[in-house]
Amino acid sequence: MSYIIVRNNETIPISSIPELDYPSFLELNVSSLIKAAGSHCVSYFGYQHAGKIRLVCCIANDELHTIHVSSSVANEGQSLPSFTKHNLVFEKFEREIHENFGIHYTDHPWLKPVRFPFNRSNKSMTVGDYPFFKIDSEELHEVGVGPIHAGIIEPGHFRFICNGEQILHLEIQLGYQHRGIEHLFLEKKKLLQRITLAENIAGDSVAAHTVAFVNLWESLNNYHPGRDLQLARTIALELERIAVHTGDLSAMCTDVAYQLGSAVYGRLRTPVINYFQKWCGNRLAKGLIRAGKNNYPFTDDLAEELTKLLDEYEKDFEEMSEELFSLPSALARFEKTGVVTVEQAGMIGTVGMSARMSGIKRDIRHSHPHDLYPELLHQPVIRDYGDVYARARIRKKEINQSIEYIRELVQNIQQGKQKITELPNPAPDSFTISLVEGWRGEVCHCAVTDEKGELMYYKIKDSSFHNWLALALSVRNNEISDFPICNKSFDLSYCGHDL
Amino acid sequence: MLDNLKILIHQGRQYIPDVTTAQVPGIFRGRPVISTEKINEAELAEICPTNAISTNPICIDLGKCTFCGECAFAFPNKIKFTTDHKMATNDRNSLIIKEGLDQAIELNPELIRKEINKYFSGSLKLRQVSAGGDNSCELELNACGNVNFDMGRFGIEFVASPRHADGIVITGPITENMAEPLQICYDAIPEPKIIILAGTDAISGGIFEGSLALNRSFLSKYKIDLYVPGNPLHPLTFINGVLELIKKRK
């Protein structure tokens, strides 16, 4: 076998991942694995080991509910043929490997910096030196926006090439938010420090990233969480989805100047995040999810309060949504704006909502279910028009779905005495992969331990890593004035990308 | 039109009438109180993920605290997080909570520059710069202006351009890659101008302290006018802190 098949949150000995010579590794991944129906690349990374770079590629097969892991070894600064030449989904992963280790891909079409990390291979270039695509034309002009934007929003630089008001090309430069998180996972040894880091990867996806980390960590420690822990995690993920989707609908109304929608959805988000505060003392659920324990068990009282909250929320939410989705002036701005076609989405390997809006059935809750998702038998909400309208409708439908799931979950609460389990030590020389479907899409964490069971490498991938390119493609041929609504309709993470 | 009015009526009144006396719902972890009970101090300090707890006597530095509450779980009789959300101050030392003292955190009037009250007490426009912020403080700063908290009623608003701003609100631990844009933005704000550090990451680096990807040299150059702790900060912590800053006189 030239690869090993693992399940979500499975820990395997690192030695069980077959190590291929590079040509076979390339051939395997770009042909048989990625071309199989329902396949996409969830992570492809390199790490330093014994003076060489070990490359590990993880391709998920959504139909078989598996992840296919293979590996190869390269030298720092080596020249290699690229995966990207055969399939664009590897584009950014290879840029990242190039940036970190100086591996030169001879036939990569776009070998540009990803995030200017502090430990990059080529330090002669800084974040100000990004090589933008240029045009030499008297008719076209460039518009540069950022890194600091007009609102209260994270930094990133957008460079447009426009013909009058029409966008021909957008290039997005990120990296301003780089905090060195992956490296800090290795440096900070206490479990609580690592959980805190996971909570701070992206503050709008606290539940998604923290669940990914604790599921991975528990698997590495061969600890099986009880139903109470899994219940709390599943509810937290669905509540986070409701809260952020509602906030995004508010922001999308703001961007098309629909004041009522902006105010009503905005205020509907408040009770949901306040509920997190009642549950765990923090509006964004920081402090709620812990490995091997839960400081804030989900009780019958909490369940009753949540049911009441959702009943009240739903009434106002439906009333507002009915109005918004029948309002011609809003629909005129949503429909056929910022389209990503089914072909484009497949080509660049989008995940989460950004895949489902373009007809791709990709949802970890369905394909690689974890925690209590196997019970919920989740069916992804799919649209195929790929525009702002599709992204708004998916949010509306996913909120309805999340409400139903929570109602179902709170029917069966097992309250036990809070037991705090000391986790043993992580398994030595092991590899674990953890996938979670956050509200934005798939989050992937991978860990490699050394012979003492210490973390040797930690890899985080936020869904935004795949999806920023979808935003760049979606605005082509749109008016530049539609950029804000396109951007908000994706609502991608800067810090989740920059790490 | 009628539908819109109906929706409006169904929403009822959402704004908080008086933000200065408002209470937060639930089990908010606000200003902690440390009892004088004798415990194993080293064990307590060891729990903290950001070394916010110092010993002999026990102190918690809210500029470093991530408000995870784990210390209070381990030593419930020693440490209690109250729901007091008023934690903003202009004196870095006031953020250090000492054993046995249960005192409200306030601004030190001696440290407020006199031009702040003179120019900004009726209107304060702020430019926000996220410099490695994880988007949680940014979400809460946005919430300050929503229909619930409605900070705009006090003339306090976030603006799009530094040229229109009276000050800068920094979130995040300040990354190397944002150090220059932050400086450029600050320089573009006309004098007099204020600096607010919003959230634990901005005040001390938080969990990112010591990361080689940070560059916090900006902070050593200027006087900080307000520290707003929290991970993320609560909108009421921010609004009340800023109100105190612009209304309080020597």
Cα(A253)–Cα(A143) distance, rounded to whole angstroms? Answer: 25
More reliable by pLDDT, A173 or A419: A173
Check residue A18 and give its pLDDT: 94
Which tokens sit at B76? 């419930």
User: For A81-118, how does the pLDDT look when each residue is reduced to its tens digit (9 = 90+)?
Assistant: 999 999 999 999 999 999 999 999 999 999 999 999 99
Measured CA to CA, the distance from residue A337 to residue A479 in angstroms comes to 9
Cis ω before A23 (30° cut-off from 0): no
CATH for A208-462 is 1.10.645.10
With CA atoms as reference, report the closest residue to A205 among A175, A248, A240: A240
Give B219's Cβ-side CA count (13 Å radius). Answer: 25
Percent of chain A topping pLDDT 90: 89
Asked if pLDDT for residue A418 goes beyond 80, the answer is no
Task: Give the mean pLDDT of A322-345.
Answer: 93
Question: In A, which residues are within 8 Å of B6 by CB distance?
Answer: 319
> Which residues of chain A neighbour B151 with C-beta distances below 8 Å?
none
Question: How confident is residue A419, by pLDDT bands cut at 50, 70 and 90?
Answer: low
E strand or H helix at A239: helix A227-255
Residue A478's nearest CA partner among A346, A280, A340 is: A340
Q: Quick one: which of A189, A224, A207, A285 has its CA closest to A443?
A: A207
Radius of gyration of chain A (CA): 22
User: Residue B232 is nearest to which of A177, A203, A493, comparing CB atoms?
Assistant: A203
Q: CA nearest B49 in A: which residue?
A: A193
pLDDT given for residue B2 in this prediction: 84
Tell if the CB–CB gap between A179 and B208 is shorter than 8 Å. Answer: yes
Residue spans per domain, chain A: 4-114, 208-462
Q: Which residues of A303-342 are buried (b: 16+ CB within 10 A; e: fewer)?
A: beebeebbeebeebbebbbebbeebeebeebbeebbbbee
How would residue A416 be classed by pLDDT, with cut points 50, 70 and 90? low
Chain B residue nearest residue A182, CA to CA: B211
Q: Which of A181, A197, A200 to mutate to test the interface with B (most CBs of B within 10 A)?
A: A200
Residues in chain A: 499
pLDDT bin (cut points 50, 70, 90) of residue A429 is very high
Task: Compute the average pLDDT of residues A130-139.
Answer: 90
d(CA A118, CA A100) in angstroms, rounded, equals 10
For residue B25, give how far its alpha carbon lies from the nearest alpha carbon of chain A (Å). Answer: 6
Q: How far is A387 from chain B (nearest CA, A)?
A: 25
Tell me which of A99, A118, A152 to substitute to probe the interface with B (most B C-beta atoms closer than 10 Å): A152
Site from B11, B13, B84, B136 to mutate, A interface, most A CB atoms within 10 angstroms? B136
Beta-strand pair B79-81/A141-145: unpaired
Residues A409, A234: Cα–Cα separation, whole Å: 9
Q: Distance of CA A205 to CAs A110, A228, A357, A437, B139, Å?
A: 29, 21, 20, 10, 12
**Dihedral-angle region of residue B244 (phi above 0 means left; psi in -120 to 50 means alpha; beta otherwise):** alpha
Q: How far does the CA of residue A100 sit from the closest CA of chain B (Å)?
A: 14
Q: Give me the residue from B69, B136, B185 closest to A148, CB to CB.
A: B185
- Nearest residue of B to residue A157, measured between CA atoms: B181
Give the list of residues 6+ apart from residue B46 with CB closer than 8 angstroms, or none.
none
Residue type at position A445: H
Give the minimum alpha-carbon distance from B23 to chain A in angstroms, rounded to a whole number.
12
- In a 13 Å sphere around the CA of A313, the CA atoms on its Cβ side amount to 27
Mean of the per-residue pLDDT values of chain A: 93
A131 has a pLDDT exceeding 70: yes
CA distance B66 to chain A (A): 8
Nearest-angstrom CA–CA distance, A457 and B141: 35
Q: Cβ of B7 and A118 within 8 Å?
A: no
* Residue B187, C-beta contacts closer than 8 angstroms, at least 6 positions apart: none
Which residues in chain B touch residue A319, judged by CB atoms under 8 angstroms apart?
Answer: 6-7, 10
- Asked if A495 and B133 come within 8 Å (Cβ–Cβ), the reply is yes
Map out the domains of chain B with their CATH numbers. 32-98 (3.30.70.3270), 109-247 (3.40.50.12280)
Residue keyed to tokens 């080689």: B212
ipTM score of complex = 0.93
Pairing assessment for the beta strands A19-20 and A442-449 based on DSSP bridges: unpaired
Name the token pair of B181. 């844009």
What mean pLDDT do residues A478-488 have?
A: 93
Q: What is the 3-state secondary structure (H, E, C) of A270-301?
A: HHHHHHHHHHHCCCCCCCCCECCECCCCCCHH
Both tokens of A202, joined, read 């992206």
Tell me how far the alpha carbon of residue B17 is from its chain's centroid: 22
In whole angstroms, how far apart are CA A354 and each of A175, A185, B140? 21, 29, 25
pLDDT given at position B250: 63
Q: Which residue of B has its CA nearest to A280?
A: B27
Picking from A63-67, A416-420, B29-33, which range would have the lowest pLDDT averaged per residue?
A416-420
CB contacts, 8 Å: B129 with chain A: 148, 155
Instruction: Please tell me the distance from the alpha carbon of residue A439 to that of residue A207, in angstroms, as a whole number.
Output: 9
State the best of B177, B182, B196 to mutate against chain A, taking most chain A CBs within 10 Å: B177
| Helix residue ranges, H only, B84-130 | 114-120
State which amino acid sits at residue B210: G
pLDDT digits (tens, 9 = 90+) for A291-302: 988 889 998 999
- In the numeric block, which tokens belong to residue A325? 């989705």
Give CA–CA dist B80/A283, Å, rounded.
19
How many residues are recorded in chain B? 250
What is the number of H-type helices and E-type strands within chain B? Answer: 9, 10
Task: For residue B237, give both structure tokens.
Answer: 């912590």
The pLDDT averaged over each successive group of 10 residues in chain B (250 residues) is: 86 85 89 92 93 93 95 94 94 93 90 89 93 94 91 93 95 95 95 95 95 95 95 95 85
CB contact under 8 A, B128 and A152: yes
pLDDT number for residue B17: 85
Distance to chain A for B248, nearest Cα, Å: 27
Closest alpha carbon to B30 in B196, B250, B240: B240
Question: For residues A362 and A406, is the Cβ–Cβ distance under 8 A?
Answer: no
- Least Cα separation, residue A113 to chain B (angstroms): 13
pLDDT band at A420 (very low <50, low <70, confident <90, very high): low
pLDDT tens-digit map of A191-217: 999 999 999 999 999 999 999 999 999
What residues of chain B lie within 8 A of the CB of A128, using their CB?
A: 180
Q: Are B73 and B206 in contact (CB under 8 A)?
A: no
C-alpha distances out from residue A256 to A160, A386, A486, Å: 21, 18, 11
Residues B7, A177: C-beta atoms closer than 8 Å: no
CA distances A325 to A46, A144, A318, A497, B191, Å, are 46, 33, 10, 32, 46
Chain B residues within 8 A of A440 when measuring between CB atoms: none
Calpha distance A71→A431 (Å, rounded): 12
The CATH code that applies to domain A4-114 is 3.30.460.80
Quick one: pLDDT at residue B14? 80
Chain B: residue whose CA lies nearest to A151: B160
d(CA A87, CA A153): 33
Burial B83-95 (b: 16+ CB within 10 A, else e): ebbbbbbbeeebb
Cα distance from A200 to chain B (closest Cα, Å)?
6
Question: From its phi and psi, is residue A67 left (phi > 0), alpha (psi between -120 and 50) or beta?
Answer: beta
**Placement of tokens 């590996």 in the chain:** A71
List the single residue in B3, B133, B160 with the smallest CB-CB distance to A323: B3
